[in-house]
Structure 1
Amino acid sequence: MVTDLVSMSGTSDAGLFLKKYECVDDIAAQSPMTFVERVTTPTLILQGQDDDRCPMGQAEQWFTALRERRVPVRLVRYPGGSHLFIVNGRPSHRRDYNERIIAWLEQWIPGAGAPGSQS
């Protein structure tokens, strides 16, 4: 998860490239944190604890900012999980990741998971 491009540019293994090639203008103005006060959508954050591409601090900042604004939010850390833990991580983590997404959608989308709700 990327929420603060300023800190991301100095803490991610790809931060320099992000700042130099992708977000060349005012990176603070392009950061999701700049607009967090507009967020009202319930948010599930599933983060690999050892992700060097999108450091854990990014997820923690977003979680805290949403929580302070009383937006429904849950943060789940996967110990030892890298950036691609959902593809090549522990099978237990991959299963948990998928189960949490399904449960979250069923909780927050009316009719999700109900018999006959598919079109």
Structure 2
Amino acid sequence: MKKCGMSISEIRHFIDLCMAGDVTLDARYDLLAKEESAVKKQIAELQEQLDFLHYKMWYFKTALVAGTEEIHMVDTDEGERVAPDIQKQYQEALAKCHDIKELIDYQKKA
């Protein structure tokens, strides 16, 4: 239970339920289902963080390959250089690749 992230008091409560016998089967199942929901929420939050890190890694990899962050800038009709929807560029690149490592791995030149 500790591996699931349950606190000592939650584990103690679960053990108490176990000691009470079969009359607590529903309560024990419900407790585990609640823990499952909490773990799934943590996984989703971590996945969001990982996705953001991959986006930033892609951004800097492409800038490193080009030798400048200017690679991410575009000219407007008014002659200005602005950052376009870079997130859209990333999503398009991501949709075309079959392995995230292609987008984010950067090999430094020796």
Normalised TM-score (structure 2): 0.26
From the two aligned structures, give the one with the greater strand fraction. Answer: 1
From the two aligned structures, give the one with the greater helix fraction. Answer: 2
Higher relative contact order, chain-length normalized (CA < 8 Å, sep 6+): 1
